[in-house]
Structure formats: structure tokens, C-alpha cells
Amino acid sequence: MLAAGLAAASAAGSQQSPTEERPVAVSNRYRIGPGDVLQIDVWKEPDASVPSVTVRPDGTISLPILGEIRIAGLMTVDLQKLLCDRYGEVIRGARVTVMVREINSQKVYLIGEVRREGPIRIMAPLTVLQALAEAGGLTDYARRKKIYILRVMGGQRAILPFDYEAVVRGEKVEQNIVLQPGDTVVVPR
């Protein structure tokens, strides 16, 4: 019994520590943006591989051999193809894998009468109610029926209403929309 417990503890100790970064599970269709952290592996070419590279605000990264490359807005699958082609010019049969280590470009913002104002990173689909919970909830001064979402749609600013009181009662559930990157949830006083 004791031996089994020690074996289990030993196996648990050999696993990756919680402080080590792991790639984020994202679709090949994920669009890369400024602030995202990528891992780029060139098969059998450790000198060309990069364990961690951050997309700069101008949408570029620096890679060994290739130098500066503009990648913001590309999907991960497209970046893999681009890098295979570019590395293929100098490395015969180059095979490249791109993994997203951190998503930092996908954010929504909460302002006004919430406990913690500021940005929230979108790691999965996030509704208005979930974002409010993530911000610690509403303050006592929040106008719960007058909350709204600012969203840019087709170059135009849209204001989408959100009645907190009704949504938590199970009414007007259509207002509890999934937020999109760049949305701002405003909770007036």
C-alpha cells in the first residue's frame, strides 16, 4: 500500500509543474494578434525553432534565419504554411508547427460600476453575465437595467442593451450575448 502511494507521488512529481507554460488549445482557424505568445518548432532544426515569441504591437515577430515577419491577422494554419514556404527556401523539407502559448490579443473591457474595471482576456466564449462575474460583480451603485455593450460592427459603433435584473430572472436572455474581442461593457452609475 505504501509502495503504491510512493509510486503515485513520484509519478505526480515528474509531471510538468504548474508554473511551466503549456500551449493553449486553439483552433487552426485562430487569428493571431498583437500580444499573443507563440511557440514555433521547425522539425529537426533547433536553431530555427523558437520556444516563445511575442507578437509586437505592429503585428510582427522576429525569427532566426528569416528575420522580421508580419503575422497579425493570420490564422495559425496560414502562418504554418507561410513559415514552411519561407524556411523551405533555406532548409530542405522544412516542416513547421505553430502553437499559441498565450492569448493576449483577444480582450473585452469592463468600465463603470463593477468591482474590477479593466480588460478581460477571452480564453473561451464569454457572455456578458460571465464577464460581469469575472469582474467581481456589480457595485451597489450600478444601474442594473441600464448596462450596455459598445461594439464596432461594419465600421459603425453599436450600442447593445443589457438588463441585468431581467437576465438573472431568466427573462430577456437574448441580451446575454457572447462578447467579441474589442467589446466594452459599460455599467453606468
Residue 58 lies in a domain: yes
Report the CATH number that the domain containing residue 131 is assigned in CATH: 3.10.560.10
Cell numbers for 34: 498583437
Q: Residue 26: pLDDT band by 50, 70, 90 thresholds? A: low
The contacts of residue 19 (CB under 8 Å, 6+ apart) are none
How many angstroms separate the CA atoms of 73 and 133, rounded?
Answer: 30
Chain segment 160-183, per-residue pLDDT in tens: 999 999 999 999 999 999 999 999
How many angstroms separate the CA atoms of 133 and 40, rounded?
Answer: 35
Amino acid at 154: G
Q: What pTM, to 2 d.p., does this model score?
A: 0.69
How much is the average pLDDT of 63-86?
95
- Tell which of 65, 84, 102 closes a domain: 102
How many angstroms separate the CA atoms of 122 and 4, rounded?
Answer: 41
Number of domains forming the structure of the chain: 2
For residues 123 and 79, membership in a common domain is answered with no
Range of the domain at 64: 21-102
Chain segment 146-159, per-residue pLDDT in tens: 999 999 988 899 99
Residue 88 lies in a domain: yes
Q: Where are the alpha helices (DSSP H) in 89-186?
A: 128-134, 164-168
For residues 130 and 85, membership in a common domain is answered with no
